[in-house]
Structure formats: structure tokens, C-alpha cells
């Protein structure tokens, strides 16, 4: 069975745009708890294994730091 042609939406937090807000609104909007931080001062990152692509987080980030890129 081939799964190579499936398109998957992947998201990431762009470190250049992220302000590492104390309260990450994008992360709070994520019902999958996919936003992770190693340290409170760091920009969050997205655990893509927990993300199902609802895109709620994109709308909630005030700095447009959550960006999408598609893989074939
Ligand atoms: S992803 Fe957006 S809301 Fe979250 S810390 Fe970065 S800039 Fe703030
Ligand atoms: S797309 Fe949905 S599930 Fe994935 S990180 Fe954003 S809010 Fe969470």
C-alpha cells in the first residue's frame, strides 16, 4: 500500500516571528496539547505527532508565528 501521495499539513512555530509570549495563545487554543516548550523563556514548538491539522492555533497567534508547510 502506498501512502506517499497523501498530503499532510504540517505546522511549525517560526522562531523569527515568535515573541515567546509568557502565555502562548496559540498553544492554549490547541486541543491536542501539541505545543511544547523545553523552557518557559523559549519559543514553543509543535509536536506534530499530536497535531491533526485543525489550524486553530494559526488564528490565535497574534504575531502570525505559526506557519504551515505542506509535504507530499
Ligand atoms: S506561537 Fe505566537 S502566541 Fe505562542 S509564544 Fe509564539 S508568538 Fe506568542
Ligand atoms: S493545528 Fe490544531 S492540533 Fe495542530 S497544533 Fe494547531 S491547534 Fe493543535
Residue 3 within any structural domain of the chain: no
Cα angle value 63/46/68 (rounded, 5°): 60
Q: Output the CA 31–ligand 1 centroid distance in Å.
A: 16
Check residue 70 and give its pLDDT: 66
Residue 11 within any structural domain of the chain: no
| Domain membership of residue 51 as a residue range | 19-71
Residue 45 within any structural domain of the chain: yes
Number of domains in the chain: 1
Mean pLDDT of 7-32: 92
Q: Output the CA 3–ligand 2 centroid distance in Å.
A: 22
Check residue 6 and give its pLDDT: 46
> pLDDT tens for residues 25-72?
999 999 999 999 999 899 999 998 999 889 999 999 999 999 987 665
Q: Is 30 in the pocket of ligand 1 (CB under 6 A)?
A: no
Residue 67 within any structural domain of the chain: yes
Check residue 5 and give its pLDDT: 44
Strand ranges, E, within 1-72: 8-13, 35-36, 45-46, 66-71
Check residue 61 and give its pLDDT: 98
Specify the residue with its C-alpha closest to ligand 2, atom 2: 54
Amino acid at each position: 500500500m502506498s501512502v506517499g501521495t497523501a498530503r499532510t499539513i504540517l505546522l511549525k512555530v517560526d522562531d523569527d516571528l515568535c515573541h515567546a509570549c509568557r502565555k502562548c495563545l496559540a498553544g492554549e487554543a490547541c486541543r491536542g496539547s501539541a505545543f511544547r516548550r523545553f523552557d518557559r523563556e523559549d519559543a514553543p514548538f509543535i509536536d506534530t505527532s499530536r497535531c491533526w491539522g485543525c489550524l486553530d492555533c494559526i488564528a490565535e497567534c497574534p504575531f502570525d508565528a505559526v506557519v504551515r508547510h505542506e509535504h507530499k
